[in-house]
Amino acid sequence: MAKLPPRERILDAAEELFQNEGIRQVGVQAIAEKAETTKTAIYRHFETKDALVAEWLRIVAADYQAAFDRVEAEYPGRPREQILGVTRFIAEGLPAISHRGCPFINSIAELPDRSHPARQVIEKHKARQARRLAGLCAEAGLPDPEQTAAEITFVLEGAQVSAQNGSIDQTGDRLMRIVAGILDRHRSPAGVVPVPDQAR
């Protein structure tokens, strides 16, 4: 198999090391060795280590945004199914998070400075995700799309933390049922809460 170009090898190595050992613990030399390249080569592609961290998180964020795009294409004109599809994407990723942790949560813990370029990538991604969820809730005709999107966001974020710390079992199944319940409750008259069907 042909070796990947240097930039891709660097990003792959950085992802593995940052996920397994943490951003602060990993130096540029370790990334160079893992990528089978040199520190000089890394700095040719990324001006600083911070820039490399930010680019890694942009790629992770793009995967999440692509999930929205996929469910939009899979369920055109069906916003409820799109929301559940995004939820399923998160639910299916929880086993990996239980072993390695959520890259966004882990990174924020290590990057308290909100001016850090990687922190800005995370905040921009999370804001865009919330906007897309609110848009889907509005398309679904829910009476308070911002509130519904906020509730779903809290649940999605909480599920990832719970998977990471192992506090809740069957996290993915529970996540699907809770989000389905939120959607049903917000569309129900007089605040009646129906028992959700088995999450699709």
**pLDDT tens over the chain, length 200 residues:** 358 899 999 999 999 999 999 999 999 999 999 999 999 999 999 999 999 999 999 999 999 999 999 999 999 999 999 999 999 999 999 998 877 788 999 999 999 999 999 999 999 999 999 999 999 999 999 999 999 999 999 999 999 999 988 888 999 999 999 999 999 998 755 444 444 444 44
Q: How far apart are CA 198 and CA 184, in angstroms?
A: 12
Beta-carbon contacts of residue 9 (< 8 Å; ≥ 6 apart): 3, 35, 36, 37
CATH number at residue 120: 1.10.357.10
Query: What distance, in Å, lies between the first and last C-alpha atoms of the chain?
Result: 39
Tell me, yes or no, whether 94 and 182 share the same domain: yes
- pTM of this prediction? 0.83
Determine, yes or no, domain membership for 198. Answer: no
Tell me, yes or no, whether 90 and 147 share the same domain: yes
Extract the tokens encoding 77. Answer: 């004109």
Tell me, yes or no, whether 114 and 178 share the same domain: yes
Q: What is the tally of structural domains in the chain?
A: 2
Tell me, yes or no, whether 36 and 125 share the same domain: no
Structural domain range at position 88: 60-191
Degrees to nearest 5, angle at CA 39 with 53 and 116: 25
Tell me, yes or no, whether 82 and 114 share the same domain: yes
Residue with tokens 């089978």: 36
- Compute CA distances 23 → 45, 54, 109, whole Å: 18, 11, 10
